Structures are given as structure tokens and as C-alpha cells.
Amino acid sequence: MSMLVIEVLHEGLIFGADRNITTWRGDGTTRQESQFSKVLTWPHGKCLFGFVGAAQMGDLTMIDWLDAIKDDFREIDSLGVIAGELYKKVQMQRDKDDAHKSPEPLIIHIGGYEKKDAFWIPVVWVIRNTHRMGHFDYLDITHEFCCTEVFRTSDLVKDIDPSEIRRFLKVLAKQFRPFWFHQGLDLLTFNVLQGAVKSAFRLLCEQHPNHGIPSTLHEWEKHVKMQVLMYGAYFEAFGLEGQKFVGGGVDVVSTPWPE
């Protein structure tokens, strides 16, 4: 596992993740290595990709596997079609990889923008084989993946007219509680720590001359980076050797709201 943070903002869309990759030794123990980014622009510059979980697809790393299939998406612009086609390829590959063993959890997010009633709106798709979230861990991990849109169907925005979504996100940001998705290990711990960090920065924005509510995509990226680094610091301090599942630095990618 790892940590993926997604924020949907008036200014744009941000994906951030740590760099640690967990590998299994022959004796059943694990080790962490900082290997590659888990967030990137793919399959084109206006579409964001991020994942947690299984980092190997066949004989390739996830990033190399994505590069190998990139040409299959060259003529596709719709986020929904991209997600649907990627879902099919992920299912086929994981059927092979996990055919003779318990399935590894894998959660993929694809994000960008599409027009709805002449207005640009954020779209975030998730491809996953984790079908239930417990209080502490992902539950009901199966060989079968599903593919669903999770921003427009979320309770917070599903009843908001497309013409008002961007302004609604701006109101959330003014309250320093931007719309977010988080995926990773032990989300209860992350949510508690993340809430404390957000509360601290809210106070800083109110009381410190060098801090204010972010107003640009670049400024919001710093806060996404802070969240990932914070959780990596938690594992560095409290994780046992071979169980520092989050860490190794952070990568952030973003795409601005189309004008």
C-alpha cells in the first residue's frame, strides 16, 4: 500500500502520493524501497493518474505497463471511455497475475474535466478490487474489479447544478476544507492526523502574516504535499522495520480547470 491524496478545487485538480514500494521477501517479511512516482499525467497531459496497492503488472512496473499500453488510448478524449478501457486491461492483467494466489488490493484513480451542459466539471473515476471499507482497513478484496465515477456521484455535489460546482468548490476552499479523496493504509489514523494538520493550518491562515488560504493551484499543491509527507513521517517514527509502508518522498501532479 501507499498513500494517495486527491483534491478537487476551484483552481484545478491535484493528485499526490508517496514513493515507497513494498516488496515481499521469500521468508514472508517485507521491505520498502523508494522506486518511482505513483501519480502522473496519463494517457495525455490533461488526465491525471494515481494508484495505491499492487505496483507490478505482469513483468513490468505499473509505470512501465502504462507506457506499454499508452498508444491504445491515443485517440480517446472522454475520461469515462479511458477509465472503461483501462478497467478492462487491468482486469485482464490481474486475472493473470493473481490467478493462483489471493488477489492483491489495487485502487486506481483517473481524473480530469468534461463538459456537462456547456460547463466544465471535474470527473474522477476509480478502478478497484476493494469493495468495502472497514473502520481501519480495506475489506472484501476480490479478483473482480469495478469501475465507477466518484466525484459527480458523491453526496456532497451530486445535487449541485453543473453551473455552480466550481463556485461551490470555492466556498469549501474558503473554509479550508477542500473536496478530497484519500486512499491508503489505515485511513483512520491518516484522517485523524490530516484533520489536526488542517486545523493547524487554518489557524495559521487566520493568525500568521506569511500564511493565507491558498488561491492558486501551486499553493494548494504544497498542502497536498504536506499531507503525504506528514503520513510518511508517522510511518518513519512508528513503523517497524520493513513496515514503513508510506514514505520515500512525495510526487504531485495537477491539471488546471479548463477556461
Q: Which of these, 147, 39, 26, 137, lies nearest to 85 by C-alpha position?
A: 147
Residues 240 and 237: their CA atoms lie apart, in Å, by 9
Nearest to 16 by CA among 24, 5, 7, 1: 5
Domain total in the chain: 1
Q: What angle do CA 96, 133, 195 make, to 5 degrees?
A: 125
Output the tens digit of pLDDT for each of the chain's 259 residues: 688 999 999 999 999 999 988 665 555 555 666 667 899 999 999 899 999 998 889 999 999 999 999 999 989 999 999 999 999 999 999 999 999 999 999 999 999 999 999 999 999 999 999 998 887 788 899 999 999 999 999 999 999 999 999 999 999 999 999 999 999 878 888 889 988 988 998 899 889 999 989 999 999 999 999 999 999 999 889 988 877 888 889 999 999 999 8
| 31 neighbors 240 (Cβ within 8 angstroms) | no
Give CA 169 to chain center in angstroms: 18
> Terminus-to-terminus CA distance in the chain, angstroms?
36
CATH of the domain at 204: 3.60.20.10
Residue recorded with cell 513494498: 22
